[in-house]
């Protein structure tokens, strides 16, 4: 008897059995996941209640539904929510579900119910700094300025905060990541909760395509946000943002100081931008934010930029311009771009 051949046959049988079991399991889970995706459910008299906090993600909600045994597969809930467009409509608040409702009914409840607590609306304008946000929230009676400034110093678990360097010259590590938007804040939310809501919005808007482009450019998200913050403070015209991004790119490629006015104004005004123009003395202000004094990017962001400025930082225009200044004739906030310093002076 050939022992090796017998052993080989046994191994083959074991492999076939294991493969067979895996195929059966894959088929079983595939069928049950499909059934849950399509489920409408009959519902029962027994009900289950969950609380969804403002700013929680689709995955967070899925985890709560599974914990209450309303769903079996978090990924199925996520896919159904995305594919039906419900993901962008999920609400916060207290929700009551019938057991065995099915995904269709669960999503219907989550997109039409909730929001049972009284909410206060507030808007963070594009280009605001953490310092300005804190003052605005206090002025509107939402939270004390000191509370927000204390909250932004805490640690938060987000992927885009991981590569921020430990540098004592950075005023606020979260500068640039509190996304400018209109928010609904409930009275029972602490300053830390408000910060999380704004960080969640940044996380939601910084897409996978943006991450890929960031990698193509060889930049970290921190560097992208710093550039975007400069762009945000340099021009209010969306169409010009890629042009300004191109100037930043061109200057950095030849080792030229960026010399962007807002980078000097940010430290001088302690983030409040109470000055709008820069004089020679301002350009000599010793701060790692001041790009008149130091090479490269500032040590940190100088405001919280809009998505259009982030997109511009990721897709700078290809041109040869190194200079620009406000077009005084048009007086509409637009700029004149020039290639040389001589042209820059001539067009002023």
HEC string for the chain: CCHHHHHHHHHHHHHHHHHHHHHHHHHHHHHHHHHHHHCCCCCCCCEEEEEECCCCCHHHHHHHHHHCCCCCCHHHHHHHHHHCCCHHHCCCEEEEEECCCCHHHHHHHHHHCCCCCCEEEEECCCCCCHHHHHHHHHHCCCCCHHHHHHHCCCCCCCHHHCCCCCCCCCCCCCCCCCCCCEEEEECCCCHHHHHHHHHHHHHHHCCHHHHHHHHHHCCCHHHHHHHHHHHHHHCCCHHHHHHHHHHHHHHHHCCCCCCCHHHHHHHHCCCCCCCCCCCHHHHCCCCCCCCCCCCCCCCCCCCCCCHHHHHHHHCCCCCCCCEEEECCCCCCCCEEEECCHHHHHHCC
For the entire predicted model, the pTM comes to: 0.69
Report the candidate in 321, 341, 325, 343 with the shortest Cα–Cα distance to residue 250.
321
> Per-residue pLDDT tens for 153-180?
999 999 999 989 999 999 999 999 999 9
**Average pLDDT value over all residues in the chain:** 87
Phi, psi of 337 (to 5 degrees): -105, 135
Strands 47-52, 323-326: pairing is: unpaired
**The residue to which tokens 């962007």 are assigned:** 260
Q: Do 215 and 229 touch, CB atoms closer than 8 A?
A: no
The closest alpha carbon to 252, from 313, 311, 300, belongs to 313
Instruction: Measure the CA–CA gap between 86 and 65, rounded to whole angstroms.
Output: 15
Summarised one tens digit per residue, pLDDT across range 275-309 is 989 999 999 999 999 999 999 999 999 999 999 99
149 has a pLDDT exceeding 90: yes
- Count Cα atoms within 13 angstroms, Cβ side, for 29: 9
Query: How many alpha carbons lie under 13 Å from residue 342 in its C-beta half-sphere?
Result: 0
Residue 115 pLDDT exceeds 60: no
CA quadruple 103, 104, 108, 109: dihedral positive or negative? negative
What's the whole-number mean pLDDT along residues 244-251? Answer: 97
Tokens of 323: 């200079």
Interval 141-148 mean pLDDT: 95
Q: What is the pLDDT of residue 341?
A: 82
Q: Work out the average pLDDT over 46-71.
A: 85
- Contact assessment for residue 114 and residue 93, using Cβ atoms and an 8 Å cutoff: yes
pLDDT of res. 151: 97
> Distance between CA 169 and CA 166 in Å, rounded?
9
Provide the pLDDT confidence category of residue 116 given band limits of 50, 70 and 90.
very low
């Amino acid at each position: 008897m050939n022992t090796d051949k017998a052993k080989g046959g046994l191994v083959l049988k074991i492999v076939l059995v294991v493969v067979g079991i895996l195929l059966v399991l894959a088929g079983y889970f595939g069928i049950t996941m499909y059934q849950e995706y399509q489920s409408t459910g009959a519902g029962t008299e027994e009900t289950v209640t969950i609380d969804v906090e403002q700013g929680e993600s689709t995955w967070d909600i899925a985890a709560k539904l599974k914990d209450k045994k309303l769903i079996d597969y978090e990924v199925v809930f996520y896919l159904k929510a995305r594919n039906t467009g419900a993901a962008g409509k999920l609400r916060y608040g207290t929700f009551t579900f019938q057991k065995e409702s099915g995904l269709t009914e669960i999503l219907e409840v989550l997109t039409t119910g909730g929001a049972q607590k009284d909410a206060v609306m507030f808007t963070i304008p594009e280009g605001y700094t953490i310092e300005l946000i804190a003052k605005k929230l206090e002025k509107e009676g939402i939270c004390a300025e000191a509370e927000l400034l204390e909250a932004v110093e805490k640690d938060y678990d987000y992927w885009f905060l991981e590569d921020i360097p430990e540098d004592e010259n950075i005023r606020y590590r979260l500068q640039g990541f509190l996304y400018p938007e209109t928010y609904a804040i409930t009275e029972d939310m602490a300053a830390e909760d408000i910060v999380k809501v704004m960080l969640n919005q940044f996380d939601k808007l910084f897409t996978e395509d943006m991450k890929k482009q960031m990698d193509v450019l060889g930049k970290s998200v921190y560097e992208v946000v710093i550039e975007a913050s400069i762009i945000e403070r340099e021009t209010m015209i969306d169409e010009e943002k890629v042009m300004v991004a191109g100037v930043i790119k061109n200057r950095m490629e030849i080792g030229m100081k960026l010399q962007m006015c807002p980078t000097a104004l940010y430290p001088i005004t302690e983030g409040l931008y109470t000055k709008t123009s820069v004089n020679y003395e301002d350009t000599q202000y010793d701060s790692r934010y001041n790009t008149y004094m130091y090479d490269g990017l500032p040590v940190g962001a100088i405001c919280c930029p809009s998505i259009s400025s982030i997109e511009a930082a990721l897709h700078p225009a290809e041109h040869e311009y190194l200079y620009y200044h406000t077009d005084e004739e048009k007086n509409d906030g637009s700029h004149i771009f020039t290639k040389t310093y001589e042209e820059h002076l001539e067009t002023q």
